[in-house]
């Protein structure tokens, strides 16, 4: 149902992790799966409570408010989007 999921190298699913956002464990599991430190991550979510939890762990995080703002957030961090 989600063809875009193939773009991601790692997936951490709550039913496999045994935790859901905003619990610290789900973020820790995701960081471990990706082999990165919190300061190396950009995280987006539509719930402010999840953004607050991510930021408390040191992740760079922004509330998802739509595709256009997300693309701006990514570009501001040097991530090329749509061939730009």
pLDDT tens-digit series, residues 13-31: 999 999 999 999 999 999 9
Predicted TM-score (pTM) of this structure: 0.85
Q: What pLDDT sits at residue 17?
A: 95
pLDDT: which is higher, 82 or 68: 68
- Can you point out the beta strands (E) in 16-80? 42-45, 60-63
Question: How many helices (DSSP H) and strands (DSSP E) are in the chain?
Answer: 4, 2
Pair 4, 21: CB distance under 8 Å: no
**Is the pLDDT assigned to residue 84 strictly greater than 60?**
no
Interval 27-39 mean pLDDT: 96
């Amino acid at each position: 149902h989600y063809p875009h999921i193939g773009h991601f190298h790692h997936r951490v699913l709550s039913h496999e992790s045994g935790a859901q956002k905003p619990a610290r464990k789900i973020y820790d599991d995701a960081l471990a799966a990706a082999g990165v430190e919190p300061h190396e991550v950009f995280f987006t979510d539509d719930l402010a409570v999840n953004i607050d939890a991510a930021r408390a762990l040191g992740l760079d995080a922004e509330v998802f408010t739509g595709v256009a703002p997300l693309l701006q957030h990514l570009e501001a961090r040097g991530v090329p989007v749509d061939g730009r």
